[in-house]
Amino acid sequence: MRLTTKTFLLVFVALMMAATSLSAQVVGRATKGTFLLKNATIETIANGTVRGDLLIVDGKIANIGMNLTAAGAKEIDCTDKYIYPGFIDAGTNLGLIEVSSVSLTQDARESGEVKPFLEALTAVNPSSVAIPVTRVSGVTTVLAMPEGGLIPGQAALINLVGYSPDEMYAGFKAMRMNFPSSAARGRRDRRSEEDRKKAEEKKFKEITELWEETKLFAKIQRAKATDPSIRQAYNPTLEAMIPVVAGEMPLFIEVDRSDDILAALKWIKKTKVNAVLTGVAEGWRVADSIAAAKVPVITGPVIGLPTRQSDRYDRPYANAGIMAKAGVTVAIRSNDTENVRDLPFHAGFAAAYGMGREAALKAITLIPAQLMGLGDRLGSLEVGKEANLFICDGDPLETKTQIEQVFISGWEIPMNSRHSLLYDEFLERSPGLKN
Amino acid sequence: MTKYLFGCLCSLLLVLSSGLHAQGSVEDRPPVTMTFFLNNAFIVQSPGKVIDLGGLLIRDGLIQAVGKDLKAPADAKVMEADSMYIYAGFIDGLSNLGVPKPKQESGGNTRGGGRIYNPSYEQAGIHTANNVAGLLAPTEKDIADMRAIGFTAAHVVPREGMLPGQGAVILLGGDDAAKMIVRERSSLFAQFEGADGGAYPSTDMAIMSKFRELYQQARQHQSHQANYAKNPRGMSRPAQNDVLAAFGPSIEGERPIFFAVDGIKEMHRAITLSKELGFPLALADVTMAQKAIAPLKASGASLFLTMDLPEAKKAEKKDEEETDPEKKKLEESRAAAMQLHEEQAAMLAKEGIAFGFSTLSAKSKDVRENLARMIKAGLTADQALAALTTEPARMLGVSNIMGTVEKGKIANLIVTDQPYFEEGANVRYVFVDGMPSEYEVKKKKKKSAGDPAAKVMAAGTWALEIDVPMEQMSTPTLTITDDNGSLTGKIVSGMGANDISDMSLEGNNLTFSYSVDGGGQTVTVTFDLTIDGDTLEGTMSAGNFGSFDVEGDRESGPKRQ
Amino acid sequence: MFKHSLLLFLLLTVSALVAQVEKGSIHIKNGTVLTVTNGVLENADVVIENGIISRIGKNLRTPAGAKVVDATGQFVMPGIIDAHSHIALDAVNEATNPVTAEVRTGDVLDPLDVGIYRALAGGVTATHAMHGSANAIGGQCETIKLRYGTYNPNDLKMEGAPRTIKFALGENPMRVHGEGGGLMSRTRMGIEHVFRQAFSEARQYLEAQEAYARQKTSDPTAVAPMYDRRLEALGDILKGDIIIHCHSYRADEILMLMNVCKDFGIKRLVFQHVNEGFKVAPELAEFGAGASVFADWWAYKFEVYYSTAYNAAILTRNGVVTSINSDSGDYIRHLFHQAGKTQRYGQLTDNEALRLITLNPAIQLGIEDRVGSLEKGKDGDVAIFSAHPLSVYAIPQMTIVDGVVRFDIKNDNNDQRLDPDPEKIDMMMLNYDEDHRCMEGTGAALFHNH
């Protein structure tokens, strides 16, 4: 047998799978049906805190109120329990990376600088071990993002239930862009300031050209619609950019440094793209400008180091709150893969350092839903919305709180993951010590 | 003919630029005399001890006499020193002067690539047996550069690795390495420089450990050898090991180990090693020492502060006053950090800690400016002078032969036209081992004085003084005639008369040029002068011969308007 | 004679090098005091005199000259201890040999690292400044106190703390010296051999020294074995003078090292990271080995793919002395929050969770008689929080080391650097968190490299 890359890959994947099935990877089946959650404290997010029952039918929240009944419903007693809308993480690599140091398990970072035709959804692995680990924490919906280059590709919102990417798809895509920056990439970046500025300028030029070419390409395409004799060469890059340049598809612009944020705001104003700023680690420095530009922000991680040695130690914690107070629409993301489950803690730190609990909760529920145009479907507990929610025994931003049951699109999720199954197996290991 | 002319020009240029130093001269003539006399100078014998308008006699490399009322002996070359200042030549506490950089090995391992396991001493950067005396190249340009700013002696060490080898005190002049050496094997040199190519030791922590191990092994080796010498029979023979043997004098407390330290943390590391192992310590290229007063005092280390300072911020446009309070604060902390460096010497002096200077990482072109910055930050001129002369002489163990201007010491001297540490002072001669180098005065062109809007008259007779070492040319007379705005002139000197046809006056800036015949070759002489009332000043440039300062007074002609 | 003089030297240096560290007196009033060893005391005072806790109780008198801190409504806990950190270090890995037992991070402490201040702002008062994980036998580590403000590296050292050394198993030494250097340690088999060979050679060395000591009294021709710092350090491990802290992940390699240690009579052993420690918790408990784990890190490389955030809980319930560490310049700033995660994953009690970042790491570092709980006679290392430190809403208010306030949120200024660049003002860098990592200095720059 010729050992080609492909066969090697196959063997490798087979090995991984074999290993996977050896351990207790199977977490059980989700079930769909009618569920009646009784006597809960319901944090609707949209309409305050309500005491009563919540009815799930056909994957939707069918009713919220006192003393509800439903024929054939599975009743869950929620006395002394709380119901929250499922948390939404608007920036992750979940599903795209399995083991970050094993390059062949990484699907987030394709070669090349400009690749808008790439779709993260294609590479989302529904069997990623991190998915059950994440959803049992109450994070029900995440944006899976491609990485790398100037235009990494299209991010896709997924619900953390389902056996195919299409099944998981939650109805939102956005183009990503890494905004050019002359900042050094960490201490190992040995490029001179001049070289970094040159690289930045080159990228700006690339963007300008991309926008001009896309406009021309779109014009030719329109002309072709009425005159089939017009010829147009295959150009997937420009094809994919058309909705972005037209302001139809949202553009998620990753930008952190304050100067770069201001440059991005200027560029957004000029190009009139439908933009959201992501990352925005130094948003606190220019919060008023962001607010004035009315460009929403998805920031995170909150739990992280300041961007400059001279910065106050708590700037990353306080960043979201400072922006929100200035009037910026702020969602919080984890920017993580295997620990997207930390999302509520990122919100917790933001809450403690000035944002307040209510705003922080919104920043991982309703605000990301609205940012992505899904405010009528996700992000709060309201009749008619998708049944993405969870039952817990306290404040879900607190580490002490247990998440007891999660529903995603009305599916009652098995509350198992590799982590909990290993706990079950090894808390009292049997056989124990060999004697 | 052309060849001859070229030779002439060359020697002329040499005379002009690097003075009477015979080295490198095409005609390798011995010097006329080795006796020099300087008179009527302010002689700073040692910091704070000055002879006003005294004389100094140098003979055969030594200071023969110093004091008032001396007479020039017949065999002496009398050097122009009237009202000038004479100092003991400066001594550099640690540098690589005269030690050529090793050639880059081709295809050498880059860090992180291949690894060298169990490296040899050589690969590990341990060259204790290396003697800098064998590496000296008198023609290295850095020697002449440092001499030009007054350094006459230096403690020099080899370059590479954690233990590059043994240092020597050398004189910064002459063309014979052997004659340059004053004290050979005067130090063992160490630095926190990891081995190349992924060999151990690569980090400071391994260097620390390796140093301890070598030192203890050296002790062990020493005692083994001693025991073997007493009683060889039946005892295993100690192996010959020059690397370990080189620690011997330091173990005996006789030879200091010099550590060049990059920052205060490395300084503490060196102190730690010295304390643990008990060797006499000298620290060079020291920064931020004022933050380590107590440990420094306790260590008893000889201290050489770096002559390198962080680059001073260029004065930015004043109209861009920083308004961003955050940037303003950062700028303040940056300035405070800068002050830590600039005031190090002053703070140590205040604490009564003795120190010299080292130039290992300093560029000669920055040294005088950096000294000025330290003085501005509180160091007195006397303290600076001590740190450049008496203190290094003492700490390097050569104070009996250098460091002051006293009879019997090596004639290492600096002669300046104004006190050395004052702005605008020029080094005129530097004597190393009794051999003078002469330097032209480089006055800054006072461009700013040129004012195109000023109204002056150029006509009249001007007595010029040109700072050129050819006497015939040094005091010419310039006559300018103004014919309704059209200027012509004539310049008369010991070399003859020249008519000047194209003179131009813009504002107060007078320029003109003429050609002279320099032994078959035409040389264009250009004047660029600024007239202020009845005086003028500026420069004269004469082709390849260089540029010279010009001053002049109007002796007759139209009065100022 | 040689040996004797060496000892004398060491003794002299230890006393000479212990710098005069600053000690203070503080009266903390009326807080909720989480003692860790003696329960929770409401409305209680903690009095520190000259750097040492002198009294804990209600309505205590303020000693003369003591600073008074009102902790009404606040929570007072022992200063947090991080059993695995790389802050305050100028070098982490001497990645030039699979065995570098002789090097010491204590020689490359960096008191100017602003990361020290940031850790203080997270309630941390002591850390284990560890060598990295590039070598199977890495360097000796230093237990330090976060006395930020000093320019003298030696001031950071926690005087009297036992010696420790870093070992490493699995992927990191396999990659650096196996894949990278072509040496034995390409596999977990080879790594075991590195240990056995190193200890056997050290044993030989000790025997040769003993033989010399016996021989020299009667035989003038006796020659001491050539001094070898690497073998000296390894010999000190065999003698029980150094605690091994071993970077480890997989259950099999954890068992392997315990077996090696048993064979060489080594008893003081703590496993670091030990992601699959939960699988061999009974064996760890039986050996008496400690476990210092991440709260929830996993899946960043293959050897941590089969791990669980319930690790700390399983280990604790099985009687293993367990701590939670940071191994990060960021996570060290919220170890209280990391400890809180053991309540989500395994429902540890408040006190069990707090022990993971106080007394247990102190035990693992051999300093539990000095720090790790609030008790009379212990060092005055205290952290004060706005709320219960295991709450996500808790904000550290004040951190005290030896009775000296090293962080006070009320006096916090933006710029806490001790050595700003004199040439230019601070610029932002992207990917800042590459610092303070286990694999620093090995040329490997992967995302997670613990």
**Are A241 and A335 contained in the same domain?**
yes
Tell me whether residues C298 and A345 touch, CB distance under 8 A.
Answer: no
Is A392 within a domain? yes
Flag the least confident range among A336-340, A345-349, B275-279, B475-479. Answer: B475-479
Set of chain B residues whose Cβ sits within 8 Å of the Cβ of C197: none
C97 interfacial to chain B (CB closer than 8 Å): yes
Which amino acid, C428? M
Q: How far is A38 from chain C (nearest CA, A)?
A: 24
The answer to whether B490 contacts chain C (CB < 8 Å) is no
* Model confidence band, residue B22 (pLDDT cutoffs 50, 70, 90): very low
Alpha helices in C31-127 (DSSP H): 114-120
Looking at the DSSP bridge assignments, the partners of residue B190 are B259
Hey, is the C-beta of C90 within 8 angstroms of any chain B C-beta? yes
Which residue's structure tokens are 């089939």? A228
Same-domain pairing of A249 and A362: yes
Please indicate, yes or no, if residue A327 is contained in any of the structural domains. yes
**Nearest-Cα residue of chain A relative to residue C172:** A101
Which residues of chain B make contact with C420, given a CB cutoff of 8 A?
330, 333-334, 336-337
**Contact yes or no for C151 and B292 at CB 8 A:** yes
C16 touches chain B (CB under 8 A): yes
Residue B212: closest C-alpha in chain C: C229
Q: According to the model, what pLDDT value does residue B466 have? A: 86
Q: What percent of chain C has pLDDT over 90?
A: 87
In a domain, A103, yes or no: yes
Backbone angles phi, psi at A254, to 5 degrees: -80, 120
Contact call for C299 and A188, based on CB within 8 A: no
Give the predicted TM-score (pTM) of the model.
0.87
Question: Region A154-182: what's the mean pLDDT?
Answer: 97
Rounded Cα gap, residues B304 and B112, in angstroms:
34
Range with the lowest mean pLDDT among A192-201, B124-133, C197-206? A192-201
Residue A72: which domain range?
A: 25-86+379-435
Give the DSSP letter string of C26-37.
Answer: EEEEEEEEE-SS
According to DSSP H, which parts of C145-219 are helical?
171-173, 188-216
> How far does B162 lie from chain C, in Å, by closest CA?
15
Residues within 8 A of C (CB atoms), A 245-264 only: 256-258
Same domain assignment for residues A134 and A199: yes
Is the bond preceding residue B452 a cis peptide, omega within 30 degrees? no
The DSSP symbol for B461 reads E
- B350 pLDDT above the threshold of 50: yes
Let me know whether A163 and A93 are in one domain. Answer: yes
For A312, the closest chain B residue by CA position comes to: B326
Task: Quote the CA–CA distance of C342 and B399 in Å, as a whole number.
Answer: 69
- Shortest CB distance from C392 goes to which of A100, A345, A422? A345
Q: Which one of B193, B209, B266 would you mutate to disrupt binding with C, by most C Cβ within 10 Å of its Cβ?
A: B209
Choose, out of B324, B326, B333, the residue to mutate when testing the contact with A (most A CBs < 10 Å): B326
Could you give the percent of chain B with pLDDT greater than 70? 87
Q: For position B5, what pLDDT does the model report?
A: 41
Contact A187 C429 (CB under 8 A): yes
Q: Do A136 and A275 sit in the same domain of this protein?
A: yes
Of chain A, the percentage scoring pLDDT greater than 90 comes to 89
C177 touches chain B (CB under 8 A): yes
Helices (H), B161-307: 177-180, 204-230, 242-245, 248-251, 264-277, 293-299
Cβ-nearest to C421 among B115, B329, B334: B334
Question: pLDDT value at position B497?
Answer: 84
Cβ A400–C296 below 8 Å, yes or no?
no
Count up the domains in chain A and report the number: 2
Is residue C118 less than 8 Å (CB to CB) from chain A? yes
pLDDT value, residue B522? 75
Same domain membership, residue A275 and residue A197: yes
In what helix (H) or strand (E) does residue C140 lie, and over which residues does it extend? Answer: strand C137-145
What does the pLDDT look like over A96-120, one tens digit per residue?
A: 999 999 999 999 999 999 999 999 9
Q: Give residue for tokens 């699979």.
A: C98
Q: Is A155 within a domain?
A: yes
Nearest-neighbour CA in chain A from B313: distance (Å):
17
Burial of B129 (0-12, 13-18, 19+ CB in 10 A): middle
CA distance A383 to chain B (A): 49
Residue C262 zone, left/alpha/beta (φ > 0; ψ -120 to 50; rest) = alpha
Q: Is B435 touching C (CB cutoff 8 A)?
A: no
Domain boundary among the residues A330, A362, A378 is at A378
Q: Which of residues 315-334 of B touch A (CB under 8 A)?
A: 326, 330, 333
What's the mean pLDDT in B505-509? 85
Using the predicted structure, report yes or no on whether residue A215 has a pLDDT greater than 60: yes
Quote the pLDDT of residue A278: 98
Judge if A98 and A81 occupy the same domain.
no
The number of C-beta contacts closer than 8 angstroms across A and B is: 3
Q: Which residue of C has its CA nearest to B269?
A: C107
Residues of chain A in contact with residue B112, where contact means CB-CB under 8 angstroms, are: none
In a domain, A256, yes or no: yes
Residue A2 lies in a domain: no
Of B208, B333, B336, the CB nearest to C107: B208
How far away is chain B from the Cα of A290, in angstroms, using its nearest Cα? 18
Is residue A1 one of the residues assigned to a domain?
no
- How confident is residue B154, by pLDDT bands cut at 50, 70 and 90? very high
Q: Least CA distance to B333: which residue of chain A? A: A310
**What domains are there in chain C, each with its CATH number?**
23-78+374-411 (2.30.40.10), 80-371 (3.20.20.140)
- Which residue in A98, A100, A185 is closest to C431 by CB distance? A185
| pLDDT of C215 | 95
CATH of the domain at A156: 3.20.20.140
Interval C275-308: pLDDT, tens: 999 999 999 999 999 999 999 999 999 999 999 9
Residues A408 and A289 in one domain: no
The strand order across the sheet containing B503-506 reads B496-500, B486-493, B477-483, B460-466, B547-556, B535-542, B521-532, B509-518, B503-506
Distance from CA of A12 to the nearest CA of B (A): 28
Interface touch A282/C428, C-beta < 8 Å:
yes
Asked whether the beta carbons of residue A183 and residue C429 sit closer than 8 angstroms, the reply is yes
Instruction: Report which of residues B252 and A27 the model is more confident about.
Output: B252
State the CATH number of the domain containing residue A42: 2.30.40.10
Q: Is the domain of A114 the same as that of A135?
A: yes
- Of A79-93, A371-385, B2-16, C212-226, least confident by mean pLDDT is B2-16
Contacts of C19 (CB under 8 A, 6+ apart): B295, C152, C154, C155
Is residue C424 within 8 A of residue B334, CB to CB? The reply is yes
Which chains contact B through at least 3 pairs of Cβ atoms less than 8 Å apart? A, C
Contacts of A285 in chain B (CB under 8 A): 326
Among A362, A378, A394, the domain boundary falls at A378
Query: Within 13 Å and on the Cβ side, how many CA atoms surround A209?
Result: 9
**Mutation target among B208, B333, B366 for the C interface, most CBs of C within 10 A:** B333
State the smallest CA–CA distance between residue B336 and chain A in angstroms.
14
Chain B CA closest to residue A310: B330
pLDDT at B400: 97
What is the C-alpha separation between C366 and C83, in angstroms, rounded? 11
pLDDT value for A7: 55
**What's the average model confidence in pLDDT over C327-345?**
97
A310 shares contact with chain B (CB less than 8 Å):
yes
Amino acid A305 reads: L
Q: Give kind and range of the element (H or E) at residue A211.
A: helix A193-226
| pLDDT tens-digit map of B261-307 | 999 999 999 999 999 999 999 999 999 999 999 999 999 999 999 99
Note which residues in 33-92 of chain A have CB less than 8 A from chain C: none
Question: A387 and A337 in one domain?
Answer: no
Apex CA B418: angle with CA B533 and CA B360, to 5°? 130
Which chain B residues touch C116 with a CB distance below 8 Å? none
Provide, as residue numbers in chain C, all residues whose Cβ is less than 8 Å from the Cβ of A426: 278-279, 281, 308, 314
CB contacts of A400 in chain C (<8 Å) are: 340, 343-344, 390-391
Same domain, A210 and A249: yes
Q: Where are the beta strands (DSSP E) in B405-459?
A: 413-416, 427-432, 435-438
The label of the residue with tokens 């957004």 reads A268
- DSSP characters for C32-52? EEE-SSS-EEEEEEEEEETTE
Whether B198 and chain C come into contact, CB under 8 Å, resolves to yes
Q: How many B/C residue pairs have CB atoms within 8 Å? A: 157
Picking from A257, A310, A422, the nearest residue to C417 by CB comes out as A310
Q: Which domains does chain B have, with CATH numbers?
A: 112-313+329-401 (3.20.20.140), 447-556 (2.40.128.20)
Regarding whether A179 and A243 lie in a shared domain, the answer is yes
Nearest chain B CA: its distance from C226 CA (Å) = 7
Q: Would you call B199 an interface residue with chain C, using a CB distance cutoff of 8 Å?
A: yes
* DSSP sequence for C215-227: HHTT-TT--PPPP
Helices (H), A227-257: 236-245
Q: Is A236 helix (H, G, I), strand (E, B) or coil?
A: helix
Closest-CA distance of chain B to residue C146, Å: 16
